[in-house]
Amino acid sequence: MDNDSAAKNIFQPYKFGKIELRNRFVMAPMTRNKSPGGVPGDDVARYYRARAEGGVGLIISEGTYIGHSVANGYPDVPAFHGEEALAGWKKVIDGVHAAGGRMIPQIWHTGAARMPGSWPNPELPGAGPDDVVVDGVQTVKSMTQTDIDLAVMAYAQAAADAELLGFDGVEIHGAHGYLIDQFLWAGSNHRTDGYGGSLENRTRFALEVVKAVRAVVSDNFPVVFRFSQWKLSDYDARIADTPEELGAILKPLADAGVDYFHASTRRMWEPAFEGSPDNLATWTKKVTGKPVITVGSVGLDKEFRVGHFTREENPDANSSVDLTQLAQGISDNRYDLIAVGRAILADPQWTNKVRDNRLDEITNFDVSALDELVV
């Protein structure tokens, strides 16, 4: 496939629910810590609008925490509940639409990954599948049925608010060692009730969230589910050791109402299971029959590492775009959409520059893109 054919393959409209995306590129969700008090301001609205002006087909917001007492786990991340925060998100989506873009929020509960003392209820322990005690202090409380029911309701309310505000869909964050993923992973779920033990039981919480979300949004309002094998604390962690186990987790979620899966990997080119070259997105497509978003260090010459964002490792990376390889995966029906993270963080015009073959004009990624909202 030559470069012109590759560009034609990627830069064509793609149906997403009742709307069309202008191309197959997606801005991946990336936490920015720029919303004091949980409220996205005008600077956040300008930041997202700049990516819409930059030509990306779909924007997925940074993680936005739902209206549960201990959903938030970090300073200055945005809420997706409450009058003031939702008014801020209304400005964001209106600006994105005015620039010709499409956008969905990622709704999020940090669970046991919550930093102790996080706002708005610093006195409360976090919530997760298991109790966690550190130096004699309970930092995480095992969720009761009431706790679980309240969290499920909060996810559903956030999804309903997303549609009411005019967003183009919603993504449920079920990856990277946060609450939903903590239930899915045997390494963080040691419950002996109906939410723990077997793979079916560990999937129950995710299933309840998906069903609740699906019940409160329109049939043609896309529901995306992001999941991963790796965790922030463990790159080698796996929720599924085989394609069969992956299917046992994801097929019920698809049947419950997930329209698109977002298979998060740190390196999109890596095989998901031994004996096959297919990556996690391709296996997801095979076992669910649903369209998928692939992601993992697209557009850069350095793989993603958590240490880049904590500044424990040098984050700088150079632009590296192989459009023909990316397009071949679409042509081969291995994935449907391609999420780009750090490259778009550093250069809002990345998509337009790739489309116009202005690759030498792309801004390389460095630490400044983490410190500020580049527009």
Burial degree of 331 (CB within 10 A; 0-12, 13-18, 19+): middle
Mean pLDDT of the chain: 97
pLDDT digits (tens, 9 = 90+) for 199-220: 999 999 999 999 999 999 999 9
Determine the Cα–Cα distance for residues 193 and 300; give it in Å rounded to an integer.
44
Contact by Cβ (8 Å): 219, 172: no
Phi, psi dihedrals of residue 50, rounded to the nearest 5°: -60, -35
Residue 279 in this model has a pLDDT that exceeds 80: yes
- Burial class from Cβ neighbours inside 10 Å (0-12, 13-18, 19+) for residue 310 reads exposed
Condensed to tens digits (0 to 9), the pLDDT of residues 160-197 reads 999 999 999 999 999 999 999 999 999 999 999 999 99
269-278 LR contacts (CB < 8 Å, sep 24+): 269/296, 270/296, 272/229, 272/243, 272/246, 273/242, 273/243, 276/243, 278/334
Tokens 């964001």 belong to 92
Write the pLDDT tens digit of every residue in 116-151: 999 999 999 999 999 999 999 999 999 999 999 999
**pLDDT over threshold 80, residue 3:** no
Q: Dihedral through CA 306, CA 309, CA 313, CA 319, nearest 10?
A: 100
pLDDT of amino acid 308: 87
Q: Looking at residue 296, what is its pLDDT? A: 97
User: What are the pLDDT digits (tens) for 297-354?
Assistant: 999 999 989 898 788 899 999 999 999 999 999 999 999 999 999 999 999 999 999 9
Query: Does domain 3-371 fall into CATH 3.20.20.70?
Result: yes
For 340-349, how does the pLDDT look when each residue is reduced to its tens digit (9 = 90+)? 999 999 999 9
Annotated catalytic residue, options 178, 195, 260, 335: 178
Secondary structure of residue 74 in the 3-state scheme: coil
The DSSP symbol for 362 reads P
Question: What is the average per-residue pLDDT within 5-33?
Answer: 95
Contact 102, 57 (CB under 8 A): yes
Q: What is the pLDDT of residue 367?
A: 92
To which H or E segment does residue 152 belong?
Answer: helix 145-165
Q: Cβ-count burial of 328 within 10 angstroms (0-12 exposed, 13-18 middle, 19+ buried)? A: middle
Percent with pLDDT over 70 in the chain: 100
| Helix-strand-coil split of the chain, %, nearest 5 | 40, 20, 45
Return the SS3 of 29. Answer: coil
CB-hemisphere CA count at 13 Å for 276? 12
In this predicted structure, what is the pLDDT of residue 188?
A: 98
Please enumerate, as own/partner, the contacts of 359-368 that have beta carbons within 8 Å and a separation of 24 or more: 359/319, 359/321, 362/299, 362/319, 362/321, 363/319, 364/316, 364/317, 364/318, 364/319, 365/300, 365/315, 365/316, 365/317, 365/318, 365/319, 366/315, 366/316, 366/317, 367/311, 367/315, 367/316
What is the pLDDT confidence band of residue 7, given thresholds at 50, 70 and 90?
confident
For the question of residue 178 being annotated catalytic, the response is: yes
Q: What is the mean pLDDT of residues 14-32?
A: 97
> Which pLDDT score is estimated for 262?
99
pTM for the predicted model, two decimal places: 0.98
In degrees, to the nearest 5, what angle opens at C-alpha 288 toward C-alphas 149 and 256? 30
Sign of the CA dihedral running 217, 157, 214, 335: positive
pLDDT tens for each residue of 287-296: 999 999 999 9
